[in-house]
A and B are shown apart, each in its own frame.
Chain A
Amino acid sequence: QKEVEQDPGPLSVPEGAIVSLNCTYSNSAFQYFMWYRQYSRKGPELLMYTYSSGNKEDGRFTAQVDKSSKYISLFIRDSQPSDSATYLCAMSGQGAQKLVFGQGTRLTINP
């Protein structure tokens, strides 16, 4: 079993829809949770960052962490074609511990 599980998709939705992306994990020591967006032929870009449990909102993006269920989510409201990318979840424990990435979900927003 992988430490971090993420459905690779692909996921295709119409413009304006609410998108829900999810990851599950097995390591209860994880404390830092991130979502990265990666456009084709580009490096990953940090999109959302959360420490421990709870929600964080930034514009159209909301990140949720449920440590009791070992489950994190990224919601995209009013999705735009420019949101079409691969979204990777990543997480790590306390201290200088390495990041563990999910496989990435390929998302397409159709105009």
Chain B
Amino acid sequence: SAVISQKPSRDICQRGTSLTIQCQVDSQVTMMFWYRQQPGQSLTLIATANQGSEATYESGFVIDKFPISRPNLTFSTLTVSNMSPEDSSIYLCSVEGGGSKAFFGQGTRLTVV
């Protein structure tokens, strides 16, 4: 399985600001995924990021709010823009391990005050 490192592991941010979360994988992968896990809730896919193309967003998520970069096959960033308290959540980076298996980073715990 891939080793996935996310930074920062946690942050407390003021409303109206933006936070960029970094995800680094120890091997080259075609697709990277960003999930949100709200308190007491399951994982919800935000978007799929392919290297060299625009990210594909799921229903309810838009690029202006969650811009994603994928500059190479081992790295991606997710920005949470113009944050509000409703954005307080855990954000998870994931890669596919074949046969629909997913491997996750340790997550970024975001609190917006």
A99 in contact with B42 given A44-B104, A46-B1 (CB within 8 Å): no
Stretch at the interface among B11-19, B63-71, B73-81, B105-113: B105-113
A-B contact count (CB 8 A): 54
Residue B60 lies at the interface, judged by CB distance under 8 Å to chain A:
no
Residues in B with CB closer than 8 Å to A101 are 42-44
**What's the Cα separation between A47 and B45 when bound, in Å?**
20
- What are 23 contact pairs spanning A and B, CB under 8 A? A32-B100, A42-B106, A42-B107, A43-B4, A43-B6, A43-B104, A43-B106, A43-B107, A44-B43, A44-B92, A46-B97, A46-B101, A46-B103, A49-B99, A49-B101, A88-B42, A90-B43, A96-B31, A97-B100, A98-B48, A101-B42, A101-B43, A103-B41
The minimal Cβ–Cβ distance linking B41 to chain A, given in whole angstroms, is 7
Going nearest first, the 6 A-B pairs with the smallest beta carbon separation are A43-B104, A32-B100, A92-B100, A101-B42, A101-B43, A103-B42
Q: How many residues of B contact A (CB 8 A)?
A: 25
Q: B102 at the A/B interface (Cβ < 8 Å)? A: yes
B-facing residues in A26-56 (Cβ within 8 Å) = 32, 34, 36, 41-46, 49, 51
